[in-house]
Amino acid sequence: MERGVALTDLTDSNPTRHGLFDPALLEILARATRDAVRYDPDPRGPLPARETLSARYGGSPDEYWLTTSTSQAYAWLFTLLADPGDEVAIPAPGYPLIEPLAGLTGLGVARYRLHYLHPYGWSIDRDDVAAAAARARMRAIIVVHPGNPTGSYVSADDHAALIDTCARGGIPLVSDEVFRPFTVDLPSGSPPSLAGAPGIVTITLDGLSKTLCAPGLKLAWIHLTGPHSATAPLAAALDEIADAFLPVAAPTAAALPALLEAADGIIARTRERLIANRSALETIFPSPLRIRRCDGGWTALLDLPATTPDPTITLLEEHHLSIHPGWFYDLPTTNTLALSLLPEEDTFRESCERLRTALTPIIHL
């Protein structure tokens, strides 16, 4: 932009920049704001909001804590579950913000690998998870369901293995489920939440930034489940953290029940976009290029031929195309590109056609 060049951005997963924010949400918020005159803070967030969450996502309202964002929820959980110098296990490839969030609380990370087998998809390296769980200062196993950028849900088999590992080590499972309703290559519908697994503490995270395509509304939640003997002390400690911050704006929390009534429509429209863009990719990048299986989420992974050096700097400097290299997400190869599936269909198709033209001399198509 400094050079006056307009970039074509295929990294952007901010839904408000792609026509996916529904302005009707602001009307709902305005109505709730008029009613939110009295400030009556509850560390967990107002009961009607938590009743709405329990009706939609299961469990009792007492199992929920409202936060301003999933990132804040991560930060609270790191304070809740660990001390500086402790560790959490995170997936690789995976969402790049978890490690710095852990670092801000003084925690380290141990990575466990996800393996890809085309066209079946991704699976968790259970030996890596077991090795991570055996580390002396391991305090939580984190999964992202479905993963960003892998788009893979935790399978029932992998979940059973995780439950076993967590139960043996007395370690909580943290499941980030912000993309769970956004199925793409999965006709059977959205897999269930990992909340409520028997015998272990499971803490799930979700929020409006994805559910309503509304990151600016700043509302997310933590759902704590597990055996009462384990969750009771965690709930008391989480109440203390929440009481210290009381971070949620009363109007947004008051609006949550009405806001979530709009969720299914917004999710359906967004999924149409994701599925249309995913299908355009298949047409624009035929074999020997390969689009990895993407069961859900907002990102597609495009594999170039194996020997291709990372083309992203050339694409940026010479073609003004901004694209995330796979290694940004800890993919072990240089030949994978991560593309946001959120842009409007025409923009996405034109951008991908430009990408294909730009790649032609690089990979000798």
Ligand X SMILES: Cc1ncc(COP(=O)(O)O)c(C=O)c1O
Site for ligand X, rule CB under 6 A:
69-71, 95, 144, 148, 176, 178, 207, 209, 215, 220
**Least distance to ligand X from the beta carbon of 14, Å?**
9
**Least distance to ligand X from the beta carbon of 317, Å?**
26
**Least distance to ligand X from the beta carbon of 208, Å?**
7
Between 78 and 285, CB nearer to ligand X: 78
Between 178 and 300, CB nearer to ligand X: 178
CB 90 within 8 A of CB 244: no
Beta strands in the chain (DSSP E): 8-9, 64-67, 87-92, 108-117, 121-124, 138-144, 173-176, 202-207, 220-225, 290-291, 299-303, 321-322, 324-325, 336-340
Between 12 and 282, CB nearer to ligand X: 12
One-letter amino acid for residue 216 of the chain: G
Dihedrals phi, psi of 309, to nearest 5 degrees: -70, 160
d(CA 185, CA 151) in angstroms, rounded, equals 9
Between 159 and 210, CB nearer to ligand X: 210
Between 175 and 308, CB nearer to ligand X: 175
**Least distance to ligand X from the beta carbon of 74, Å?**
8
d(CA 357, CA 172) in angstroms, rounded, equals 47
**Least distance to ligand X from the beta carbon of 177, Å?**
9
CB neighbour class for 179 (10 Å; exposed up to 12, middle 13-18, buried from 19): buried
d(CA 121, CA 174) in angstroms, rounded, equals 22
Contacts of 93 (CB under 8 A, 6+ apart): 114, 147, 149, 150, 326, 329, 330, 331, 332
Half-sphere exposure of 84 (CA within 13 A, CB side): 3
**Least distance to ligand X from the beta carbon of 331, Å?**
15
Taking the mean position of all CA atoms in its chain, how far away is CA 25?
A: 22
Between 50 and 290, CB nearer to ligand X: 50
DSSP conformation class of 292: P
Between 95 and 153, CB nearer to ligand X: 95
Terminus-to-terminus CA distance in the chain, angstroms? 30
Between 95 and 285, CB nearer to ligand X: 95
**Least distance to ligand X from the beta carbon of 148, Å?**
4
**Least distance to ligand X from the beta carbon of 78, Å?**
14
